[in-house]
A and B are shown apart, each in its own frame.
Chain A
Amino acid sequence: MRILDTQVISECVYRLARRAGVTLTDSCRLALMKARDTEEGAARFALDAVLQNEEVARREQMPVCQDTGMAVVLIELGQEVSLRGKLLSDAVDEGVKRAYEEGLFRKSICDPLTRANTGDNTPAHLHVDIVTGDRVKITFLPKGFGSENMSRLSMLTPAEGREGILNAIVEAVRLAGSRPCPPVVVGVGIGGSFDSCTLLAKKALTRELSSSHPRADVAAIEEEALARINGLGIGAQGFGGRVTALKVLCEIAPTHIAGLPVAVNMQCHCVRCEKEVL
C-alpha cells in the first residue's frame, strides 16, 4: 500500500490549474494553425487573433480566455493508494482556490438561484475513478460556459442507430451556431445511462485532438461527424468558413437494450487541459 498525503494532490491541482489557464494544448494550437491556413476573410481575421492571443497569454502568463472556467478535475486513483490528510475534495478545492487567486483567474462559480459568487471558483467539479495500481492521475480541464451552455443530451432509440448518433452530433453543433466560440471541439458520449453518458462526453474532451478512438467503428463516427459538421459552413466565430469543428472525440460505454443515449459536450477552440501522474 502506498501512502499519499492529499497535500500532494492539492499542490498538483494548483500546478495544473495555473498552467491550464494560460496555455492551449499543443494539439489544439496545431489544429488552429491548420484551420487558419484554410480560411479567409473574417474567419481568418478571427483565427489570426486567436493564435496571436495564445502567444501573448503564454509569454505574459495571462489567462488565454477570461472565462477561466469551472474547474473540472478528473482523478484516476490507484486502489493501492491510501490517502492521508484532508478529505480529497477539500484538498482539490484548496489547489483550485490558490491557483485562481494567485493566477489572477476570474472566479466564475455562483449559487444557481441567488447568483452570489462563491468568490474563489470552488467547488471544483471532481470525479474520481478507482483504477488498478498505486498511481494517481490528475486531469485538469477549465471548462468555459459559452460552450458548456450549448451542450445536449439525446435519449435515442436503438432503431435510430448510427445515423441517429451522427444526426444528434451534427444537430447540436448546428443549433449552437456562433455561440460556443467555433471552431469547436465536440466531446461525445455514446451509451451508458442518462448521467454516465454526459460524463463520457466530458472525458472525451480530455483526449488529444490528434488522437482517434482505438475502436475502428467509433473512429469512423468521429471522422464522419467532423466532415458533416464542417459542411455546415459556420466557421470561426460563426463568420462563415470551412472549419466549424477542429475535432470530434467520442467515448463509448455499454448501455441498456432499450436505449441509445448520446451526449454532446461542446468545447470552444480554447482547449486547455493539463495532466500529471503522481
Chain B
Amino acid sequence: MRTLTLPLSERDVLSLHAGDTALLSGTIYTARDCAHKRIFELLDADMVPPFPLKGAFIYYAGPCPAPAGKACGSCGPTTSARMNPYAPRLLSLGLGGIIGKGEMSEEVRRALVKNKAVYFAAIGGAGAIYGNAIRKSELVAFPELLSEAVYRLEVENFPLVVAMDCYGNSVYKK
C-alpha cells in the first residue's frame, strides 16, 4: 500500500499503476454533475473557475451534513462515468487527477495519458470511512447546490485504488 500526499509530483504520478492501492492525504475539491456544469459555464465565459485547476484533484462526491464535532458527514464517491463529458477538458487545463468510482471513457483515458494525470477509485458504499477521514471541509462555490456544491476538503489517508494510470492502463475489465 502506497502513502501519498497531495500535490503529487510527476515522479509520484509516473510511479502509480492501475490496481495499486494507496492512502492519499491532502487537499481535494468536491464537484459532481451540477457543479461541473457551472464550472464549464464559467470557463466558457472566460471567467476563473472556483479553485485553481493546476495540479488540483476533483472528488466526485456530495457529502451528507456534518454531525457535531466532525468536519463532514458520510462522503463516498459517486459514479464517475457521468462526468465523462467534463473530465478531458479539465485535465487539459492542468487538473492533477480525479477521485471517483467506476470506469470512465476512452476520451478520459487518453486525456490522462496526454496530461500525465491519474484517476483513483474510492470505494463506493464506504461513505462513513471517507467521511471520518475528512479533517476539514470548507464551502468554496455554488452554495445553492447544497450537497452538490464545491467543497475544499482536507483529507487524511483516503483508501484508494489506482483505477486508470498515466500509461493508459485501467483496473477495469474491457
Contacts and interface: CB of A to CB of B under 8 A. Distances in A.
Interface of A: 41-42, 45-46, 49-50, 52-53, 56-57, 60, 62-68, 104-108, 115, 117, 119, 146, 149, 177-181, 233-234, 237-240, 268-270
Given A65-B124, A66-B131, A239-B161, 17 more contacts: A52-B126, A53-B125, A53-B129, A62-B132, A64-B128, A66-B76, A67-B78, A105-B65, A106-B64, A106-B73, A115-B34, A117-B145, A179-B103, A237-B161, A239-B19, A239-B121, A270-B125
Contact of B63 (A64, A106, A149, A239): A106
B64 A63 contact: yes
B171 A66 contact: no
B76 A65 contact: yes
A239 B131 contact: no
A25 B94 CA distance: 43
Say what secondary structure dominates the interface of chain A: loop
B172 A53 contact: no
B118 to A, nearest CB: 15
Contacts of A179: 79, 81, 102-103
Given A45-B161, A108-B147, A177-B102, A146 B74 contact: no
Contacts of B34: 115
B161 A105 contact: no
B155 to A, nearest CB: 14
Contacts of B78: 67, 146
A106 B65 contact: yes
B79 A63 contact: no
A229 B121 CA distance: 23
